[in-house]
Structure 1
Amino acid sequence: MSCPDCFRGGQAKGEPKGALTTLYGVTTYVALPPSSTTSKSTILFITDAFGLKLVNNKLLADDYALRTGHRVVIPDIIPGHGVEPAVIAHMDNVMKPVKWWDILGQLSRIWSVANAARHFVPFMLKASPDKAHIFKSELEYARKLKADIPPGGKLGVCGFCWGGYGSTNLCVEPAVEGGSEQLIDAQFCAHPSALKGPEQVVAAITTYKVPYSLAHAENDFNWSTAKMDTAEAELKQKYNATGNGENGYNYEFITYKGCAHGFAARARPGTADVQGADDAKEQAIKWFSKWL
């Protein structure tokens, strides 16, 4: 999780419709579906590095709840509650091309580097998504959610950037320690970060045959096209699975052309990210509507 795009993107506008509450001792944003729906299922939403501080995540959860008819919960589980959204402007300034003779431009860039580093360096030291204690907190929360779901209900999980590591790895976990029942019933992630390699995605799909959907940014140096192609090749060759239910394996990898890491949660105005974000949202809604 070291790419600059993890801390860049656009900030959405809108008023969240959900509410903050406390679930299992954790501050949680809850987006409820329309009162006319009868779903007993829940979607666990694991955010990008900005957590509940970035309104984009709440607005996206609201859309998921509205369109799928399932309850959506976002736990505030990132140490330090996530990166401050102000970092986005600093990172944009850092990445903006500046002529070497532009003294003011270079000074502005140095100032932005210092301000951005003040936020994301401590974050990376204590809140990298692959740290064992962070995944443990996600796992404990997910298991409590699963235990509280009424008969007939299912548990889905979605993860974005920082959250894609957790959503992917929760797919290999049992509902209870030492048990045989799967924890997750359907997974969606977009531009996941910190995955060790294709083998983690393959394991997420094959361990419990969890329906797995991934939205891939073409211009993503974190979860690259090469890694995705390797995962898909292993699924086809080793498991004889093309994603359409053969041998019980259901998955889809969709690449969004021209999009950068972070697009599905933080689309940058005026870029391919905007259409990509809309399409990725439809991808997730269709997936959860089908499998939950």
Structure 2
Amino acid sequence: MSFIPLSTCCLQGGRLTGTPRGTFTASNNTQRVGRYQTKPSEGKVVDEKVALVLYTDAFGLELSNPKIMADAFADQLKINVYVPEYIINPPPVDVFEPVAPLYPDQYASRSWATTIYMIIEVIWKIWRWLPMLLFPKKQVPLAQAAINDLTSEGYEKIVAVGYCRGGAMVQYLLSNQANTTLVGGIICHPSPEKSTWPQITKPSVWHLADHDQMFGAKDIQLLKDSFQKKVEDENVDFDCIVHTDTVHGFAARPTLEHEATKKAFNEANKSVVGFCENYLLGSD
């Protein structure tokens, strides 16, 4: 069974179609970070003290995908799900399409001249967002504040899932030992924030692409080596799944036409459900 039922009419160029049913609350005197919130469409929330927090990629809430995915998580887990607006004024959703393939070798037939031209054109369009894109640590304060908001509201156990830039946020959040309500995280095709790895001792599952320029084969091996010692010496719960024939973005902006990407999208997001069932709703 798919994480979200997918057909040719519900996915267009990596964009999930549909109407998010949750609500958005802007930041205010008691809530520092604006956020999308959703609940199960049918039935009551099974535990008001637990929550899943979804950290978006660099496009933030401009794209409907994270909201639609949050709705699906809420339905399957019967819990509250939040998507914080930790990126203010994100770049246009389609700005990277000319240089960001949806599957391996999509642009393999392009000439070097065309590729260079496309890269220069994209850089020209996004220059105002470069500080945000190049320095993920700048978004950590708001990402952290979103956790603090929920903790102050009475949530006792939180799981964070992050995609692309959001995956970087989860690495930083897991490395902060002060986050006592954060019990674990799922990290999907992020940038490798290696400075955080020594401090991460909470359960984590990593979903990576085997054709990801941001997180290449050497980084993947370094990640596995870094955490293997923790698994053996400290009994840290860690798993790393590398999805074959996929590129950066598969778990957040999949393309239906590519079967390996569709499969990886389903596997990564279904694992979020299993992780939450264990660490939020189970006995751990």
The alignment's TM-score, normalised by the length of structure 2, stands at 0.80
Displacement over 6 Å in runs of 4+:
none
The structural deviation recorded for 1:71 is 1.2
Matched ranges for 1:8-157 at <5 A: 10-23=14-27, 24-33=31-40, 34-39=42-47, 40-80=49-89, 82-91=90-99, 95=107, 97-98=109-110, 110=117, 113=119, 116-131=122-137, 133-150=138-155, 153-157=156-160
| C-alpha distance 129-187 of structure 1, shift in aligned 2 (>3 A) | farther
Q: Within 1, Cα distance between the matches of 2:134 and 2:26?
A: 24
2:184 to 183, 186, 193: 186
The structural deviation recorded for 1:285 is 1.1
Question: In structure 1, what residue type is equivalent to 2:26?
Answer: T
Moved more, 119-128 or 51-60: 119-128
1:277 to 245, 261, 265: 265
| C-alpha distance 98-223 of structure 1, shift in aligned 2 (>3 A) | closer
Pairing 1:289–2:277 present: yes
Q: Within 2, Cα distance between the matches of 1:21 and 1:114?
A: 37
| C-alpha distance 203-174 of structure 1, shift in aligned 2 (>3 A) | closer
| C-alpha distance 228-100 of structure 1, shift in aligned 2 (>3 A) | closer
The structural deviation recorded for 1:201 is 3.1
Q: Within 2, Cα distance between the matches of 1:286 and 1:31?
A: 19
Q: Where does the alignment leave 5 or more consecutive residues of structure 2 unmatched?
A: 1-12
Match of 2:255 in 1: 268
Name the structure where helix makes up a greater proportion of residues.
1
**Matched residue of 1:91: which SS?**
coil
Question: In structure 2, what residue type is equivalent to 1:29?
Answer: Y
Q: Within 2, Cα distance between the matches of 1:173 and 1:136?
A: 12
1:220 to 212, 217, 232: 212
Aligned residues of 2:73 and 2:273 also touching (Cα < 8 A): yes
**Matched residue of 1:185: which SS?**
strand
| C-alpha distance 100-253 of structure 1, shift in aligned 2 (>3 A) | closer
Identity value in percent: 21
The structural deviation recorded for 1:88 is 4.4
Aligned residues of 1:79 and 1:126 also touching (Cα < 8 A): no
RMSD, aligned α-carbons = 2.7
1:166 to 158, 165, 169: 169
Aligned residues of 1:87 and 1:115 also touching (Cα < 8 A): no
The alignment's TM-score, normalised by the length of structure 1, stands at 0.78
